[in-house]
Amino acid sequence: MRQVALCIALVLTFSLSANGVETIAANDPNIQYTGRIDFADPLSPIMYWPGSYIIANFEGTSINVKLHDYGDNYFYVIIDDGDPNLINLSPGAGTYTAATGLTDSVHRIMLFKRTETPEGQAAFTGFELDDGKGLLPPPERPQRRIEFYGDSITSGFSVDCTCNNAAAEYKNNYYAYSAVTARNLNAEFHCISVSGIGLYVDTWGLGGNMQTLYYDKLYYEDESTYTMWDFSQWTPHIVVVNLGQNDYLGAYTQAGAEQAYRDFSMLLRNEYPYAHIILALGSMNATQTGSPWPGYLQNAVNDLNTIYNDPKVYSVIFPYSGDPHPDVARHAVMATQLTDFINNNIPDSWLGNVDMNGDRIVNPADFGKFGLRWLDSDCDLCEGADLSGDSTVDVNDLKIMANNWLIDFTLKGHWKLDGDGTDSSSYNHFSTIYGSPTWDPNGITGQALVCDGGDDYIKIDNFMGIPGGQSRTVSAWIQTSQDDGEILTFGQMTTTGGRWVFQVAPGGKLNVQVGGETIFGTTVITDGFWHHVAAVLENDGTPSLDEVKLYVDGTEEAVPGTATEINTILENEVKIGVFSDTAKYFEGLIDEVRIYSRALSQAEIDELFNMGQ
């Protein structure tokens, strides 16, 4: 009986028929979600960002949508790719008519969030269909993916009038250049944009800028109420950043603007090693005649292309088209310009991602998907298997797959420390060496970094580590006779749970300190011999210090800990050999430092240890 009851309960989770209406729950597997959507409650997923949307194929002659509005939101309903129809939500839970009088057949619905973050959150709680009807499998997702970071222009502020009015009824991301460009390119679309936000200047008193407040968030209300975004969930082919308009209206400098463009580009490059990044500006008065900002942007792109050796960064300047904010027609012109730029200047923008299943490791799972399309021809991307762009899956694509075989994109940094601070991961982070460290020729593999315990360390430029409570593994080989030295560190100094300090503690044992609380290993590692050390956190939804595993020489340590929440704040860049410039400098040898954005298994820790034997 208990098994039968469980089966009934599971069915009810997805659909319930009552009073002549078939109710479809929000967690139905045939509902397709797109955007940074919060699934903490799968029966009531939260949509926060503009341009978040839902697609489903349904049977019957009518459909209603069930939404709970926590602000002042407007949605579009699009049936069978027709014209959008407006839904103005009322506060609280409600059921809204999406379509009636349809033919009794299969139809498609898109539910699109027009409004942006100031209008608050809206939760989707399900559909209502004709009695006895249901959902069918959704359409295949577009193979192309594009992401936008921007301000009011990208959000679609006052698109529906020329009144420059901040009212929710005039905001419309659907007709903003960002969403229109995505549709032009048949690309899946994420939009992270906030009216008034700056590249680096807080002109309107929002408390920060795109980099400090929003770019890495699933949801942000204030400095104490937010949820971090897991970048591994969705990887774009193209990223467009249109920021600078609000900075232009504030107190800026050329040096500050150019550095901010470089910094943000490198933050995005840390997350997306293969993406094409377009730095854009306009079409309001930041690009009018006499504005220095187009020059600032181009200078930053030139630096990224040359000094930082990143050829996949581009510039697009939308010509000044007048004030106030652009309307539908002006956004359409912007979308045409951006679409043409992408098609004409980066025609291979959708190619070369050999991680076909999106798990950030190129392995047999990707090869299996690749093999299913072997020798297919005349196919658009061939479900990602056409890596060379010739519309055929053949030996040319196989060579690309082979050249990238077993690349692990979750390896966010790998410093072999063979005489310099070169990063051997696919992210190729730049670094700066401080003090006067030397290099011992008898490292684990090649040379090793020798720190004097006084002022020697390496800073990884523009790489802040692993944010929030995301899964992670850090590891290194060390040889030391001194207690109390920091091996690898990142995060914020002052907030409880806000830092990640991997170190040798007083007493000579391995230690992880997250701010306010600490865990210790059991093995003394200050005996002057080489030891492989590692710390692993697997995010179970409520990551805490007592869930961190410590390893010494491949063996897990028995570690008592506290339930302190881990919420690493990305404030300080990753450092090898110290945390802050006046803290506990490491004295001894360090080699083979690694950071992963996932929790390595015991077998993988063993493999790292055995590499040094």
Does some domain include residue 253? yes
Pair (151, 124) in one structural domain = no
pLDDT tens digit sequence for 515-548 = 888 999 999 999 999 999 999 999 887 899 999 9
pLDDT tens digit sequence for 105-158 = 999 999 999 999 999 999 999 999 999 999 999 999 988 899 999 999 999 999
Question: Which residue has better confidence, 428 or 300?
Answer: 300
Closest CA relative to residue 64, chosen from 51, 77, 53: 77
Strand pairing report for 144-150 and 187-193? parallel
For residue 382, what pLDDT is reported? 81
For residue 356, what pLDDT is reported? 74
Task: State the total domains in the chain.
Answer: 4
Does some domain include residue 5? no
Q: CATH code at 450?
A: 2.60.120.200
The average pLDDT across 471-494 equals 94
Check: CB of residue 473 under 8 Å from CB of residue 534.
yes
pLDDT confidence band for 406 (50 / 70 / 90): confident
Output the average pLDDT for the chain. Answer: 91
The pair phi, psi for residue 374, each rounded to 5°, is -55, 130
Pair (396, 483) in one structural domain = no
d(CA 88, CA 175) in angstroms, rounded, equals: 17
pLDDT confidence band for 353 (50 / 70 / 90): low
d(CA 208, CA 204) in angstroms, rounded, equals: 9
Pair (57, 180) in one structural domain = no
Does some domain include residue 4? no
Check: CB of residue 206 under 8 Å from CB of residue 221.
no
The token pair that represents 392 in the structure block: 């055929």
Pair (398, 416) in one structural domain = no
Amino acid at 499: R
For residue 4, what pLDDT is reported? 33
pLDDT tens digit sequence for 292-331 = 999 999 999 999 998 888 899 999 999 999 988 999 999 9
The token pair that represents 125 in the structure block: 């709680």
Pair (421, 370) in one structural domain = no
Pair (607, 478) in one structural domain = yes
pLDDT confidence band for 10 (50 / 70 / 90): very low
Instruction: Show which of 136, 169, 196 is a domain's final residue.
Output: 136
Check: CB of residue 550 under 8 Å from CB of residue 534.
yes
Pair (152, 92) in one structural domain = no
SS (H, E, C) 24-83: EECCCCCCEEECCEECCCCCCCEECCCCCEEEEEEEECCEEEEEEECCCCEEEEEECCCC
Q: CATH code at 47?
A: 2.60.120.260
233 burial type by CB count under 10 A (0-12 exposed, 13-18 middle, 19+ buried): exposed
- Please give the torsion angle defined by the CA atoms of residues 169, 174, 178 and 183, in that order, rounded to the nearest 10 degrees: -170
Does some domain include residue 277? yes
Pair (393, 428) in one structural domain = no
Task: Write down the pTM of the prediction.
Answer: 0.76
Does some domain include residue 227? yes
Question: Which residue has better confidence, 475 or 469?
Answer: 475
Check: CB of residue 313 under 8 Å from CB of residue 298.
no
H-type helices in 254-327, by residue range?
254-271, 293-306
Check: CB of residue 106 under 8 Å from CB of residue 95.
no
Pair (372, 442) in one structural domain = no
d(CA 281, CA 318) in angstroms, rounded, equals: 6
- Whether residue 213 has pLDDT greater than 80: yes
Pair (157, 268) in one structural domain = yes
Q: Is the peptide bond before 324 cis (omega within 30 degrees of 0)?
A: yes
Amino acid at 314: Y
Pair (150, 130) in one structural domain = no
Please give the residue range of the domain that contains residue 397: 364-403
d(CA 521, CA 331) in angstroms, rounded, equals: 58
Check: CB of residue 346 under 8 Å from CB of residue 355.
no
Pair (376, 431) in one structural domain = no
Does some domain include residue 353? no
Instruction: Show which of 116, 136, 156 is a domain's final residue.
Output: 136
For residue 143, what pLDDT is reported? 83
Does some domain include residue 528? yes
d(CA 176, CA 171) in angstroms, rounded, equals: 9
For residue 19, what pLDDT is reported? 64
- Whether residue 2 has pLDDT greater than 60: no
Does some domain include residue 547? yes
pLDDT tens digit sequence for 34-92 = 999 999 999 999 999 999 999 999 999 999 999 999 999 999 999 999 999 999 999 99
> Which residue, chain included where needed, has tokens 């995505």?
182
Q: CATH code at 204?
A: 3.40.50.1110
pLDDT tens digit sequence for 495-512 = 889 999 999 999 999 999
